[in-house]
Amino acid sequence: MITASGSSALVHAELDIRQRLLMSSQWNETRQHTQFNPGIFAVEQRHQQIALDNDLKLAVHPNVSAATRFAWIGEQTNFTANAGGNSSERDLSAVLLEAELSWHSRFRTRQLRIGRIKPQWSQGFNWPVLDLLRPDRSRPNFDQDNLRQQQGFDMINVRWRQSSWGLSALVATMDDSQYAAQHQSALRLSHEGSVDSSLIWHYLPGVGHQWGASLSILISDASSLRVESSYERQRDRPEFDAQGSTALASDGYLKTLIGYQYSLEQWDIRAEYLYNQHAYNNSEQQQLNQLSDTFAQRLTSAEAAQSYAFFASVNQAMAQGQSSRHGLYLMYTNQRDQGFWSWQQSVQLNTNDGSQYHQLQLGQRWSDEWHSRVQLEYFTGNEQSEFGRLPSQFNARASLYWSF
């Protein structure tokens, strides 16, 4: 961390610079043949990353400040094809994650923010139900080592606050070619009290009006309950017809999360339930299974090009959201403990097909500046289930962090 200050008769400026170096390496035990990859696509076997995360904050006036966060990311990914061939890709890029100019009134009842900002309306949960801005870069699962998932949106944001009430309005650009719109708008009304609540309106031209709401209740000093729900016009995933062609549906879809957390001295235990109308129903899933079998048989025929196109589109669709209509997430952790060791273990269960995603994290705190983490993931289920058809069967990752 670097802190600098300067002053004159008119200006008092303070600069705060924080940097973090991230180094990680991941090894994957993969399935060469899956339901949506009958050996035609190369699969990732190893991924290595070194990234420098830079966070700068400049206070030029008691009411005016500027902040930016950018990262230099170097990556190497190794792939293995079904035929036994190996390939690798390297990438070196600079990513602007956040950058904003901010003004607030004397008592912070009004605030104006302009720049690249990442609002997080769903916080601390496995499924971010209320993050309605598009594109949602944290799907299908949030990865804390993937800095690109933390990139914000270019927007103008105005906030008002009066006593326990707050109102936030924003207009943001749209940088996803999937949508024809150039901008999106949102309003968020919030209230803090014995029951914290919020109501969100989101408008995307060409898609329509979307809504979100949340309630957070402190049951006791050790337990809390949170309910989040969103209604989105457009479905997370495209629908496939009998010929394997895709179309985006916009009939309106509900997603609801109920989360409960209980805290001990240093341990937190959390349970979440997700109801998700975006997921394919039983008949749609059966049709997708039949299409996969049909196009797999055509790979050696004159219609092979159509088969490749189908499997490419279905793999892209699977990365857009959750496959479970009813999902369950259980987790316990002692990451609030400031000791040397920290532990987190979780399981995500698709209650429709019985498949499971297990994750174990063991953290080490060597000093205030140096941290490390070992993460293990494994996926179970039959070949037609959400986690059984993933290309990865087991992943192991080692990460090292240096903050300065």
pLDDT tens digits, one per residue of 278-320: 999 889 889 999 999 999 999 989 989 999 999 998 988 888 8
Q: What are the tens digits of pLDDT across the range 60-71? A: 899 999 999 999
Helix or strand holding residue 75 (H, E): strand 64-80
Instruction: Tell me whether residue 292 is exposed, middle or buried, using C-beta atoms within 10 angstroms of its C-beta: 0 to 12, 13 to 18, 19 or more.
Output: buried
- How does the average pLDDT of the chain come out, rounded? 91
Q: What Rg, from alpha-carbon coordinates, does the chain have?
A: 23
Contact 214, 227 (CB under 8 A): yes
Residue 283: φ, ψ to 5°:
-70, -40
DSSP-assigned letter for residue 238 = P
Average pLDDT, stretch 25-54?
A: 94
**Is residue 11's pLDDT more than 70?**
no
Average pLDDT, stretch 362-379?
A: 96
What pTM did the predictor assign?
A: 0.90
In the chain, % of residues over pLDDT 70: 96
Which SS3 state, helix, strand or coil, does residue 265 take? coil
